[in-house]
Every structure is written in structure tokens, then in C-alpha cells.
């Protein structure tokens, strides 16, 4: 529970954004602080060193003048040495080339021999600086300074000065820096909070707009043009929304078409039976006639319902294709055989041509239905004494079924609509021959399910050609 809430908290873009801004701001602030302080410290110590060296230089010259390295008795030199050790709050040692201490500001080492390595090395002309900066009591700068005359080393000065002022200045600066840093941190956090709040507000607006649409308060396209990203999101959403709308419209149209189509036979049945009922002594002849009509209307209703069921079943993706390896030639023959009686009845010549045996992976039932519907249309929308030709052909990847007829054809501009549900070019003729206007919708649906294509071309009064192209291997 708590973990979930914590997880949700960090999942928020706003929180992450805030954290990133805060982190960047805080690290920048900390880095700058340490850089400035360290830099100050280094500079201050350097200045102290320079000062000491200059002083040691002057002192060295005085010691040479007073011949202090030969005879360490000059009062003037001793006064200067004491003065300097006082100024730097430290200690000064004078060593001659034999490494004997000639003077110690603390008076301890006079006359003893130096064992310190840095002092020995200074006799080779090496100048050395050593810093120890710990705290106010122990922080020092130690300098070993060789004193030369005409290129000869005459002795060395060892001086230790306190850097206490630097350390105490550092302490003051650190306190100040802490205070400033605290203010800056608060400012950064505040700024990060405001920034993340403002920058992410457009996303809230998107959510609100989408919720409004979901709740039905609005169906306007949403527009949050603040950022490229919000534009992309809202653009995608609007496209989805208009697709949903289009789908909704087409469903509504379908429902109203269905109701209309189902009502037509019922109306006829109602009229027929009412007429009979209103004539108590109608002749048997009339009863038979009317009942025959009623029976036909019921058949029609039945066909419409059957076609609708086929469509709806196929619409559901849950009903997958039942793919098997099928001999297309044989299957087409079987379908055509079933249609021969009506062709004969209408005096239409029905033939099939094939260049080779075709085996393909299709749903047998659906494929039969495709051929059935196309050939049935070709027979029914034909003329007395006309012909229907079915041609099969294949290349390695696709096979085609071409159904041509010498029928009534249809105007070019109708071709775009013939796959629509309930669409009929000539309503009365379709009705006469028992059409529902659903046949070609079912055909196209089956073809699409097979990842194939269907194409029609027609000339009014001359004939129509339907070509179906399906893949040989189903994938």
C-alpha cells in the first residue's frame, strides 16, 4: 500500500521534473560554493607565502651584510630575526653550510646540528615550501630558504609562519556561504516547484479535455497547442475520436438500414393478411394467392436474416479463418454445379476456364461463398441468352478468380458503393431476383480476411467483370 503510493508519487512526471530541476540546481550551487571557497583558500595561502619569501629574501641579504653566517653576533640581525618571527607568529632558524644552527627564535636549537632532510637539501640550493592547514592552532606555512651570494650558498633560513588568519577567514566565509546556500537552496526548490507545476499544466488540460469528452460534456476536438508534444497527443486523440465518430455513424446507419430492410417484408405480410381478413368470404383462390405471396415475403425475410448473420459472424474477429489446403479448381466446379439450374432457367451459358491446377490455402466455406455470390450475381444481373465465364489463373504468390458476364452492367460511379451493406443499383430488379444487397459486403469481407483484393469493372448494357486476387499461401 505504502510502497504503491511511493511508487505512484515517483511515477508522476511533475515530481520527477521537480527532482531533476532541484538536483541540478543544488549540485550547481554546491559545486560553485566549494570551488569559490577552495580558490579563496589557495589564493590567501599563496599571498602569505609570497609575503614570507620576500621578507626572507630581505632578511637573507641583511644576514650576509652583517656576516652572520661567519659570526653570529650582529645585534641588528638578531633584532630583525626576532621581529620577523613575531610578525608571522612562528619560528625562524638560521643554519650555516655545516648544518649548524646559528640562531633559533625559540632559543632551543642554538649550536646543534640540523638533521632535517629539507634543510640538508636547501644547501644544494633547493627552496622548499610546505603547507599544513588543519585548524586555527596548527595551520602553518613552512619555508626553507637558501641564502646565496654570487651563486654560492652561504647558509639557509628555515621559517615557519602561522596561516591562522586564512583559516579564521575561511571559517567566517564558510558560515556566510552556508547562509547564502540555504537561501539559494530554498529559492531553487521554490523555483523548481513552480516550474514543474507550470510546465506540466498543459498535460492536466489534456486530461481534463479528454475526461469531458468521456463524460459527454463535449465532443469538440481538443486543442492544447502549448508544446509540440501536447500537439502530438491531442492530434492523435482527435484522429481517434473522429474515427470513433465515423464508426458510430456507420453503425447507426447500418442499424437503420437493417430495421428498414427487415420491416419491408413484414409490411407486405401485414397488408396481405389484413386484406384477407377484411374480406370474410374471399374465394379460396385468393387465399392461396395471398398465402403464396406471404410465404415469399417470409422467405425474403429469412434470406436477409441469414445474410445479416453471416456478416455479423464474420465481423467478429473471434471467428478466425479455417484455413486448409484446397484444390481451387475442384471447389469452383462444385459451386458452379450448384448454380447451373438457375443459369439454365435463365438461359445463361455458364463456363469455366483454367490454365492449371491451383492449390491454395483458404477457408473453404468462405471461398465457396465468394465464388457463389459473384457467379450468382453474374447470372441474375444478366440478359436472356447471355453468358457467364469463370477464369482461374495463378502465379507463384497469388491466384485469381475472374467472373465475367454479358449482363446489364452498371454505371461506373456505382462501383464505389456496391460493397456497402444493403446497397443495390437497381432496387426493384434486386428484389425481383431475391437479392438483399448484402452479398457483395459478405464477399469483400471474406476477401479482406484472406488478405486478398477484389476489383470490379463494368459497362452498362455490356457486362461486368469481378476479379478476386488471393494469396496462395496464407500468412
Ligand X SMILES: Nc1ncnc2c1ncn2[C@@H]1O[C@H](COP(=O)(O)OP(=O)(O)O)[C@@H](O)[C@H]1O
CA distance 68 to 112: 16
Measured from the CB of residue 427, what is the shortest distance to ligand X in angstroms? 8
Alpha carbon 293 to its chain's center:
63
Q: Is 439 in the site for ligand X (CB under 6 A)?
A: yes
Segment interacting with ligand X, rule: CB under 6 A, options 83-91, 125-133, 290-298, 370-378: 370-378
Q: Which is nearer to ligand X, 140 or 430 (CB)?
A: 430
Residue 410 contacts which entry, ligand X, Mg ion, none (Cβ below 5-8 A, type-dependent) = ligand X
- Helix, strand, coil share (%) of the chain residues, nearest 5: 55, 20, 25
Q: Tally Cβ neighbours within 10 Å of residue 149.
A: 12
Q: Which is nearer to ligand X, 163 or 436 (CB)?
A: 436
Measured from the CB of residue 336, what is the shortest distance to ligand X in angstroms? 15
Q: How many CA atoms lie within 13 A of 18 on its CB side?
A: 17
Answer yes or no: are the C-beta atoms of 335 and 368 closer than 8 Å: yes
Answer yes or no: are the C-beta atoms of 354 and 331 closer than 8 Å: no
Answer yes or no: are the C-beta atoms of 206 and 223 closer than 8 Å: no
Give the number of residues written for the chain. 475
Cell matching residue 218: 463535449
Segment interacting with ligand X, rule: CB under 6 A, options 19-27, 40-48, 190-198, 435-443: 435-443
Segment interacting with ligand X, rule: CB under 6 A, options 32-40, 278-286, 319-327, 374-382: 374-382
Q: Which is nearer to ligand X, 154 or 424 (CB)?
A: 424
Q: Which of 265, 464, 469, 470 binds ligand X (CB under 6 A)?
A: 464
* Helix (H/G/I), strand (E/B), else coil: 151: coil
Closest CA to 401 of 371, 372, 378: 371
Residue 155 contacts which entry, Mg ion, ligand X, none (Cβ below 5-8 A, type-dependent) = none
Q: Which of 90, 407, 409, 439 binds Mg ion (CB under 5 A)?
A: 439
The H or E element spanning position 162 is strand 152-162
Cell matching residue 207: 486530461
Q: Which of 170, 336, 440, 447 binds ligand X (CB under 6 A)?
A: 440
Q: Which is nearer to ligand X, 103 or 466 (CB)?
A: 466
Measured from the CB of residue 266, what is the shortest distance to ligand X in angstroms? 19
Q: Which is nearer to ligand X, 358 or 374 (CB)?
A: 374
Cell matching residue 263: 420491416
Contacts with Mg ion by CB under 5 A: the residue count is 3
Residue 392 contacts which entry, Mg ion, ligand X, none (Cβ below 5-8 A, type-dependent) = none
Measured from the CB of residue 254, what is the shortest distance to ligand X in angstroms? 14
Q: Is 391 left (phi over 0), alpha (psi -120 to 50) or beta?
A: beta
Q: Is 166 in the site for ligand X (CB under 6 A)?
A: no
Q: Which of 135, 426, 432, 455 binds ligand X (CB under 6 A)?
A: 426
* Helix (H/G/I), strand (E/B), else coil: 207: helix
Segment interacting with Mg ion, rule: CB under 5 A, options 219-227, 237-245, 320-328, 371-379: 371-379
Q: Which is nearer to Mg ion, 234 or 458 (CB)?
A: 458
Segment interacting with Mg ion, rule: CB under 5 A, options 36-44, 123-131, 352-360, 430-438: 430-438
Binding mask 302-341 for ligand X (x = CB under 6 A): ----------------------------------------
Answer yes or no: are the C-beta atoms of 392 and 355 closer than 8 Å: yes
Q: Is 265 in the site for ligand X (CB under 6 A)?
A: no
CA distance 95 to 102: 6
Residues 384-423 that bind ligand X (CB under 6 A): 405, 407-410, 418, 423
Which residues does residue 160 pair with via DSSP β-bridges, in sequence order?
91, 142
CA distance 300 to 471: 35
Q: Is 425 in the site for ligand X (CB under 6 A)?
A: yes
Residue 234 contacts which entry, ligand X, Mg ion, none (Cβ below 5-8 A, type-dependent) = none
Segment interacting with Mg ion, rule: CB under 5 A, options 225-233, 377-385, 442-450, 465-473: 377-385
Cell matching residue 357: 491446377
Answer yes or no: are the C-beta atoms of 309 and 445 closer than 8 Å: no
Answer yes or no: are the C-beta atoms of 310 and 436 closer than 8 Å: no
Closest CA to 105 of 83, 123, 131: 83
Alpha carbon 140 to its chain's center:
60
Q: Which of 122, 163, 377, 441 binds Mg ion (CB under 5 A)?
A: 377
CA distance 406 to 427: 20
Q: Which is nearer to ligand X, 132 or 351 (CB)?
A: 351
Segment interacting with Mg ion, rule: CB under 5 A, options 17-25, 203-211, 310-318, 374-382: 374-382
Measured from the CB of residue 322, what is the shortest distance to ligand X in angstroms? 23
Which residues does residue 392 pair with via DSSP β-bridges, in sequence order?
354, 401
Q: Which is nearer to ligand X, 15 or 433 (CB)?
A: 433
Which residues does residue 401 pair with via DSSP β-bridges, in sequence order?
392, 468
Q: Is 378 in the site for ligand X (CB under 6 A)?
A: yes
Q: Which residues bind ligand X (CB under 6 A)?
A: 373, 377-378, 381, 405, 407-410, 418, 423-426, 430, 435-440, 464
Q: Which residues bind Mg ion (CB under 5 A)?
A: 377, 435, 439
Amino acid at each position: 500500500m505504502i510502497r504503491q503510493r511511493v511508487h505512484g508519487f515517483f511515477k508522476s512526471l511533475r515530481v520527477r521534473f521537480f527532482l531533476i530541476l532541484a538536483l541540478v540546481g543544488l549540485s550547481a550551487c554546491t559545486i560553485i560554493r566549494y570551488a569559490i571557497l577552495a580558490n579563496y583558500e589557495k589564493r590567501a595561502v599563496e599571498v602569505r607565502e609570497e609575503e614570507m619569501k620576500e621578507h626572507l629574501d630581505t632578511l637573507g641579504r641583511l644576514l650576509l651584510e652583517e656576516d652572520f653566517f661567519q659570526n653570529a653576533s650582529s645585534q641588528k640581525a638578531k633584532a630583525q630575526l626576532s621581529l620577523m618571527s613575531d610578525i608571522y607568529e612562528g619560528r625562524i632558524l638560521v643554519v650555516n653550510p655545516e648544518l649548524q644552527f646559528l640562531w633559533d627564535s625559540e632559543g632551543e636549537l642554538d649550536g646543534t646540528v640540523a638533521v632535517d632532510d629539507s634543510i640538508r637539501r636547501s644547501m644544494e640550493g633547493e627552496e622548499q615550501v610546505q603547507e599544513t592547514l588543519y585548524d586555527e592552532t596548527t595551520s602553518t606555512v613552512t619555508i626553507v630558504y637558501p641564502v646565496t651570494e654570487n651563486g654560492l650558498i652561504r647558509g639557509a633560513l628555515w621559517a615557519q609562519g602561522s596561516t591562522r588568519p586564512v583559516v579564521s577567514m575561511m571559517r567566517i566565509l564558510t558560515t556566510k556561504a552556508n547562509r547564502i546556500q540555504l537561501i539559494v537552496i530554498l529559492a531553487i526548490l521554490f523555483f523548481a516547484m513552480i516550474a514543474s507545476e507550470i510546465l506540466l499544466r498543459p498535460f492536466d488540460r489534456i486530461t481534463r479535455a479528454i475526461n469531458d469528452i468521456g463524460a459527454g460534456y463535449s465532443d469538440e476536438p481538443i486543442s492544447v497547442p502549448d508544446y509540440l508534444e501536447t500537439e502530438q497527443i491531442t492530434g492523435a486523440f482527435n484522429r481517434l475520436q473522429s474515427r470513433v465518430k465515423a464508426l458510430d455513424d456507420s453503425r447507426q446507419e447500418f442499424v437503420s438500414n437493417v430495421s428498414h430492410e427487415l420491416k419491408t417484408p413484414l409490411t407486405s405480410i401485414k397488408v396481405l393478411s389484413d386484406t384477407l381478413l377484411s374480406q370474410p368470404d374471399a374465394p379460396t383462390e385468393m387465399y392461396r394467392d395471398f398465402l403464396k405471396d406471404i410465404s415469399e415475403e417470409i422467405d425474403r425475410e429469412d434470406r436477409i436474416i441469414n445474410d445479416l448473420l453471416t456478416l455479423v459472424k464474420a465481423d467478429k474477429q473471434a471467428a478466425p479463418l479455417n484455413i486448409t489446403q484446397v484444390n481451387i479448381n475442384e471447389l469452383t466446379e462444385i459451386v458452379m454445379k450448384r448454380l447451373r439450374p438457375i443459369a439454365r432457367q435463365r438461359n445463361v451459358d455458364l463456363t469455366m476456364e483454367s490454365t492449371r491446377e491451383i492449390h491454395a490455402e483458404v477457408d473453404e466455406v468462405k471461398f465457396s461463398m465468394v465464388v457463389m455470390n459473384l457467379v450468382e450475381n453474374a447470372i441474375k444481373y444478366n440478359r436472356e441468352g447471355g453468358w457467364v465465364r469463370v477464369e482461374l489463373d495463378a502465379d507463384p504468390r497469388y491466384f485469381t478468380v475472374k467472373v465475367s458476364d454479358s449482363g446489364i452492367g452498371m454505371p461506373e460511379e456505382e462501383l464505389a458503393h456496391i460493397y456497402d451493406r444493403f446497397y443495390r443499383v437497381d432496387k426493384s430488379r434486386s428484389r425481383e431476383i431475391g437479392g438483399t444487397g448484402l452479398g457483395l459486403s459478405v464477399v469483400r469481407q471474406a476477401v479482406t480476411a484472406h488478405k486478398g483484393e477484389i476489383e470490379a469493372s463494368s459497362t452498362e448494357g455490356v457486362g461486368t467483370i469481378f476479379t478476386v486476387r488471393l494469396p496462395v499461401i496464407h500468412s
